Amino acid sequence: MKKVRVGIVGIGAVGTELVKILRQRDFPVGELRVLARSERDEEIAGETVHVVRTTREAFDGLDFAFFAGTEGASGASVTYGWDAVERGVTVIDNGNDFRMDDRVPLVVPEVNPAALQNHQGFIANPNCSTIIALMALAPLHREAGIERLVAATYQSVSGTGSAAIHELESQVRAYVAGREMESSEYPAPIAFNVLAQIGGLKDSMPGFTSEEVKMRDETRKILGVDSIRVCATCVRVPVFYSHAESLTVEFAREITPGRAREILEAAPGVKVVDDMENKKFPMPLEAEHGDDVLVGRIRRDESAPNSLALFAVGDNIRKGAALNAVQIAEHLL
C-alpha cells in the first residue's frame, strides 16, 4: 500500500494511543509528524518521538491529520482544521467542535461507513460513550429499530486526560497513607467516589449535561433517525481506563435476548461476555487496552414492550477515540 504522511495534533492520552495504534496496525505511515503547543521530544512506547510546534504551515504536505482531543476537548480543530483541509489534508477530529456540523460526517466505521462518501475533507469521531453504546446497539437497531434508549454511563478518568489519570493515582496513594486527597481535575475527589456530572449544564436540555446531550444528538445523527428518544445519565467513576454503560432499549419490533446474542456474536468489533451462571460479564479491567466492545447482561426488560437491557464496556481511549479514528483512515485508504 502507498505510504502516507500522517500528522497527530496533541500528545496527551489519545495522541499517545494514536501513535501506538498506527504501529500496531501497520498503518502505511511514510512520515509521522506530531504537533503540539511546543517543540520537544516525547517517549512513547519506548521510542523517542520529536514533537513540533503547531502552526498552519506545519500541516503542509500531510495526507491525514488526527486531532487528538480527549472527551469534550475543543479548540485545536477550530483554529487549524479547515485550514488544513484547504491545504489538501484529510482531517479526522476527536474533539467536539464539529460533530453536529452538517458538513461533517460523524462516523463509527462498523456502524455507518456510508457516511464517508462525498466527505468534504473533515470527518468527526463521535464521543467515546456514544461509540461504545452504538457498537452494541447499532446491530440490534438494524434488526428491530430503536425507538427509545435509557443509558447510564460509568466513565473512566482517562476520558478527562492524562492529568486525571495521575490525580486518581495520587488520591489513592494519599487515602491509603491517611493523607488528605487533593483535587484539581474534578470538583471533589474521584478516588473511592462517583461524580454524577460530566460536562457543563445545557440550556437546550434543562438539568442535563453536555455529555448527556451528546449521547442523544450523536446517536440520532449516526443512526440517521431523529425520532429516537434518549435519556442519559453520565457518571465519572474511579477507573483508569474503559467506560461501562447500562443500556435499556425499547425497539419498534420484538427481539428476544437469544436473537440479540446471535446478532452481537456476529457483529464486528463486539465480543459477547454473557454467562451469569459462571459470573462472566463485561468489566473495565477486561476491556482495558483492548479493541473490542464487550457486551453482556442481555435480558428482557419486562417494564416496557419490545425492550431489552444490556451492559457494554469498551476502552474509551482505544475504540472510544484513537482506534476509531485510525479505522476511519483505513476505510478511506
Residue listed under C-alpha cell 491517611: 178
Percent of the chain at pLDDT exceeding 70: 98
Rg from Cα positions in the chain = 20
Query: What pLDDT was estimated at residue 45?
Result: 76
pLDDT in tens, 137-162: 999 999 999 999 999 999 999 999 99
Supply the pLDDT for residue 69. Answer: 77
pLDDT at 47 (0 to 100): 86
Whole-angstrom Cα distance, residue 3 to residue 1? 6
Q: What is the mean pLDDT of the chain?
A: 96
106 neighbors 115 (Cβ within 8 angstroms): yes
Cβ(138)–Cβ(146) under 8 Å?
no
From the list 90, 62, 68, the residue with the least C-alpha distance to 16 is 68
Fold of the domain spanning 4-125+321-332: Rossmann fold (3.40.50)
Instruction: Work out the average pLDDT over 306-325.
Output: 98
- The reported pLDDT for the residue numbered 74 is 64
* Catalytic-role residue among 119, 128, 141, 231: 128
Q: Which one has a higher pLDDT value, 42 or 74? A: 42
> How confident is the model at residue 1, as a pLDDT?
73
231 is catalytic: no
pLDDT band at 73 (very low <50, low <70, confident <90, very high): low
Q: What is the pTM of this model?
A: 0.96
- Domain 130-316, CATH number (from 3.40.50.11540, 3.20.20.10, 3.30.360.10, 3.30.1490.20): 3.30.360.10
Q: Is the pLDDT of residue 277 over 90?
A: yes
DSSP code of residue 181? P
- Among 119, 166, 243, 289, the active-site one is 243
Q: What is the pLDDT of residue 46?
A: 83
Which H or E run includes 24? helix 13-24
Reduce the secondary structure of 231-252 to three states and give it as a string. EEEEEECCCCCCEEEEEEEEEC
Per cent of the chain over pLDDT 90 is 92
289 is catalytic: no
pLDDT in the model for residue 72: 56
Question: Could you tell me which residues come within 8 angstroms of residue 222 by beta carbon, excluding any fewer than 6 positions away?
Answer: 106, 107, 108, 111, 112, 115, 126, 130, 134, 138
What mean pLDDT comes out for the span 287-294? 97
pLDDT score, position 27:
97
Phi-psi group of 317: left, alpha or beta (phi > 0 → left; psi -120 to 50 → alpha; rest → beta): alpha
Where does the pLDDT of residue 71 fall: very low under 50, low under 70, confident under 90, or very high at 90 and above? low
Rounded CA-CA distance 163/149 in Å is 32
Task: Give span(s): CATH 3.40.50.720, the chain.
Answer: 4-125+321-332
**pLDDT digits over 27-39, tens only?**
999 999 999 989 9
The ranges of the chain annotated as CATH 3.30.360.10 are 130-316
234 contacts 215 by C-beta, under 8 angstroms: yes
8 A C-beta contact, residue 318 and residue 294: no
Give the per-residue pLDDT at 75: 77
